[in-house]
């Protein structure tokens, strides 16, 4: 837990229980068990863990798509669930596959502009200027505005989806495995872009990934999630040394770090 | 070429081109490669560098059945692209094991796992042998797994099943094309540990295609770094990654997270991978290379050999002045 300033996102003692099966054969799965995390403006919190550890469940709570079973989830002091409807454009998300956020039938320009249409009081000319400006910031030249997703490379598409997430100047952005599907050489460009944009726009962010090497590069702090609980949380810098928690150490080895270390 | 005692695979001047309009795509451009028994060789590079094409060519397999336009592949002394009919079938089923990226997709979704094991003659394998194989890849509860359909087991288990199939005839060559790309981080190490252990036990050869440089450094004896359909650098994997001699290897290492120190910066490789349409008569990395000299853009670089390392570059000497930071990866620890 961090204690500087008012957090943009604050999750306190969050429990999530998924219910499966018909009423006569109910089974329960505890996806999260008492998770506490908070993210300040300008801070990037990394979240690592393997499949089924609850990473994406936390992500869904943080963008207001899932209501927790117990605990408090706040965005700027307000309830998080449904925040997307109440405050359009306050939260953005960049997902693993850019195709999930870009409509194949819409040009890149219209896809990036779409979230702005939900914000009242913006004229067509102003929207157009903002889109051109934002595409420039993510390194896509003006000509990309009229192109379709299929005409772009994987890296360019991910840039476009980042532009779409940032266009409304959100206070919080979720990056859910945002670089996992990209080629090795493209990952570096996108990680640097995310870092630069965060420096200039000062949004709060949650960076979810299974790759500890990528997370420690972009995040300020890292929380390690194991079986629905935070196993360890520390500054990203400390992850450049072998960590104490055995599970974190296992993740570090799985990312190819500290492989020569004697057990 | 690298000095090898008993080469079991010899690739000479191999050119593979895929049909495309107006010019064919040259996926492999005059590649020379050898591998011996009892070693693990890694192929690394960006998408489109030709690493999968080369790995598959070692077994005489290629996309749409394209045959090499030039050069030869001799695996266990046989010209693999010249094999036909029954000979080819036997060669593929007895001498080579393949492990692919998507384990669940590699299995037949309509059959229970226990009914998917066959002998090279196409006869179902007896149950006892299947059980043996499944336990040899570290699967417990073999009875349940044999009775399950592929979608009922996890990705890691399905990959173990695929490995069990690949080793069912004890092939002297195992080709694994991104075997862990679709798997979770902790399962990834288990699968790579398993492949390496099985390889060492059988003293066979393992070809590991991967874009995960950290794993290749850990698990492979040798590595071939590929770019634009050519092997630009090869040698013992730790030497290559700790002290790269080709500017592309150095640039690649500096562009992935994990090799930078705390507060350090990763540097993307500027520009884009080359278009492989047509034949390049120069160094394909030259437009992105910080150290390029005029000759790089004009002529194809020569392959130079020094000890167990080779590189394909015009720059003289071995010191390319690109020290890779040791701090971030903790290999020193």
CB contact under 8 A, A251 and B186: yes
CB contact under 8 A, A213 and B256: yes
Confidence (pLDDT) at A186: 81
Confidence (pLDDT) at B333: 29
CB contact under 8 A, B257 and A258: no
Confidence (pLDDT) at B47: 83
CB A110 within 8 A of CB A131: no
**B26-47 average pLDDT score:** 93
**B262-268 average pLDDT score:** 86
**If pLDDT is split at 50, 70 and 90, which confidence band does B56 have?**
very high
Which two three-digit tokens encode residue A259? 């492989």
Statement: residue B323 has pLDDT above 80 = no
**B80-90 average pLDDT score:** 92
The partner residue sitting opposite B329, judged by closest CB among A183, A237, A257, is A257
Task: Give the closest residue to B324 by CA, choosing from B244, B268, B225, B269.
Answer: B244
Number of CB pairs < 8 Å for A and B? Answer: 101
Selected residue of A189, A254, A258 to mutate for chain B interface (largest B Cβ count, 10 A)? A254
CB contact under 8 A, B255 and A213: no
Confidence (pLDDT) at A163: 94
**B315-330 average pLDDT score:** 56
CB B310 within 8 A of CB B2: yes
Closest residue, chain A, to B217 (C-alpha): A256
Pairwise CA distance, residues B70 & B42, whole Å = 24
Confidence (pLDDT) at A259: 58
CB A17 within 8 A of CB A30: yes
Which two three-digit tokens encode residue B12? 């000479």
Pairwise CA distance, residues B162 & B121, whole Å = 19
Which two three-digit tokens encode residue B202? 């059988």
How close, in Å, is residue A253 to chain B by CA atoms?
A: 8
Phi then psi for residue B62, to 5 deg, are -150, 160
Confidence (pLDDT) at A258: 67
How close, in Å, is residue B83 to chain A by CA atoms?
A: 35
Residues of A whose CB is below 8 A from B289: none
Pairwise CA distance, residues B295 & B305, whole Å = 20
Which two three-digit tokens encode residue B332? 């020193």
Strand partners, A72: A12
CB A37 within 8 A of CB A225: no
DSSP state, B180? Answer: T
CB contact under 8 A, B185 and A255: yes
Pairwise CA distance, residues B156 & B187, whole Å = 6
CB A206 within 8 A of CB A175: yes
Confidence (pLDDT) at B331: 44
Strand partners, A230: A225
Confidence (pLDDT) at B324: 52
Determine the distance from the C-alpha atom of residue A73 to the mean position of all C-alpha atoms in its chain, rounded to a whole number: 16
Confidence (pLDDT) at A211: 86
3-state secondary structure of B305: strand
Residues 6 or more apart in contact with residue B303 via CB below 8 angstroms: B1, B32, B310, B311, B312
Confidence (pLDDT) at B330: 43
**A147-157 average pLDDT score:** 88
CB count in 10 Å sphere of residue A120: 6
How close, in Å, is residue B116 to chain A by CA atoms?
A: 27
Share of chain A above pLDDT 70, in %: 96
**B86-105 average pLDDT score:** 91
Confidence (pLDDT) at B4: 45
**If pLDDT is split at 50, 70 and 90, which confidence band does B325 have?**
very low
Per-residue pLDDT tens for B249-261? 999 988 888 878 8
**If pLDDT is split at 50, 70 and 90, which confidence band does B237 have?**
very high
**A91-97 average pLDDT score:** 91
**A205-225 average pLDDT score:** 93
CB contact under 8 A, B330 and A258: yes
Task: Give the closest residue to A206 by CA, choosing from A50, A97, A93.
Answer: A93
Alpha-carbon dihedral sign for residues A234, A239, A242, A245: positive
HSE (CB half, 13 Å, CA atoms) of B310? 23
Three-class HEC string of chain A: CCCCCCCCEEEEEEEEEEEECCHHHCEEEEEEEEEEEEECCCCEEEEECCCCCCHHHHHHHHCCCCCCCEEEEEECCEECCCHHHHCCCCEEEECCCHHHCCCCCCCHHHHHHHHHHHCCCCCHHHHHHHHHHHHHHCCCCHHHHHCCHHHCCHHHHHHHHHHHHHCCCCCEEEEECCCCCCCHHHHHHHHHHHHHHHHHHCCEEEEEECCHHHHHHHCCEEEEEECCEEEEEEEHHHHHCCCCCHHHHHHHHHCCCCCCCCC
CB contact under 8 A, B263 and A217: no
């Amino acid at each position: 837990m961090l204690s500087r300033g008012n957090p943009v996102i604050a999750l306190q003692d969050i429990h999530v229980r998924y219910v499966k099966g018909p009423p006569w054969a109910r089974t329960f799965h505890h996806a999260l068990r008492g998770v506490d995390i908070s993210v300040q403006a300008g801070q990037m919190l990394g979240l690592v863990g393997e499949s089924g550890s609850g990473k994406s469940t936390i992500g869904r709570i943080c963008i207001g798509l899932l209501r927790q079973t117990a605990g408090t989830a706040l965005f700027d002091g307000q309830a998080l669930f449904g925040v997307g409807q109440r405050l359009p454009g306050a939260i953005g998300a960049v997902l693993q596959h850019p195709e999930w956020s870009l409509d194949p039938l819409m040009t890149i320009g219209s896809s990036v502009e779409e979230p702005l249409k939900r914000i009242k009081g913006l004229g067509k000319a102003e929207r157009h200027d903002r889109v051109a400006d934002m595409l420039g910031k993510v390194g896509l030249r003006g000509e990309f505005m009229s192109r379709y997703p299929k005409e772009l490379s994987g890296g360019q598409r991910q840039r476009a989806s980042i532009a779409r997430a940032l266009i409304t100047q959100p206070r919080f952005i979720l990056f859910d495995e945002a670089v996992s599907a990209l080629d090795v050489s493209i990952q570096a460009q996108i990680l640097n872009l995310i870092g630069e944009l965060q420096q200039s726009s000062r949004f709060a962010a949650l960076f979810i990934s299974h790759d500890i090497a990528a997370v420690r590069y972009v995040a300020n702090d890292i929380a390690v999630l194991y079986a629905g609980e935070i196993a360890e949380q520390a500054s990203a810098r400390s992850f450049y040394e072998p960590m104490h928690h055995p599970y974190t150490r296992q993740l570090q080895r799985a990312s190819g770090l500290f492989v020569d270390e004697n057990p | 070429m690298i000095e090898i005692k008993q080469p079991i695979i010899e690739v000479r001047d191999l050119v593979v081109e895929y049909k495309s309009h107006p010019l064919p795509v040259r996926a492999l451009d005059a590649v020379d490669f050898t591998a011996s028994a009892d070693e693990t060789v890694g192929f690394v590079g960006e998408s489109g560098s030709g690493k999968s094409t080369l790995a598959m060519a070692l077994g005489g397999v290629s996309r749409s059945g394209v045959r090499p336009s030039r050069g030869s592949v001799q695996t266990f002394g046989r010209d693999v692209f010249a094999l036909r009919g029954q000979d080819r079938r036997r060669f593929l089923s007895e001498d080579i094991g393949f492990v692919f990226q998507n384990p669940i997709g590699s299995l037949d979704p309509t059959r229970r796992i226990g009914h998917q094991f066959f002998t090279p003659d196409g006869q179902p394998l007896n149950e006892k042998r299947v059980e043996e194989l499944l336990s040899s890849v570290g699967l417990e509860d073999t009875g349940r797994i044999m009775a399950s359909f592929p979608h009922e087991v996890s990705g890691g288990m399905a990959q173990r099943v695929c490995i069990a199939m690949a080793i069912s005839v004890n092939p002297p060559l195992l080709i694994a094309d991104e075997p862990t790309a679709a798997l979770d981080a902790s399962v990834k190490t288990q699968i790579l540990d398993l492949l390496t252990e099985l390889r060492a036990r059988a003293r066979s050869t393992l070809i590991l295609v991967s874009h995960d440089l950290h794993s290749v450094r850990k698990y492979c004896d040798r590595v071939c770094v590929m770019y634009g359909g050519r092997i630009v650098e090869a040698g013992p994997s730790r030497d290559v990654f700790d002290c790269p001699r080709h500017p592309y290897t150095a640039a690649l290492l500096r562009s992935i997270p994990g090799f930078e120190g705390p507060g350090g910066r990763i540097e993307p490789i500027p520009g884009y991978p080359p278009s492989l349409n047509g034949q390049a008569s120069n160094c394909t990395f030259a437009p992105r290379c910080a150290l390029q000299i005029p000759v790089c853009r004009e002529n194809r670089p020569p392959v130079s050999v020094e000890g167990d390392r080779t590189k394909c570059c015009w720059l003289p000497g071995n010191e390319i002045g690109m020290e890779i930071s040791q701090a971030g990866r903790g290999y020193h620890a």
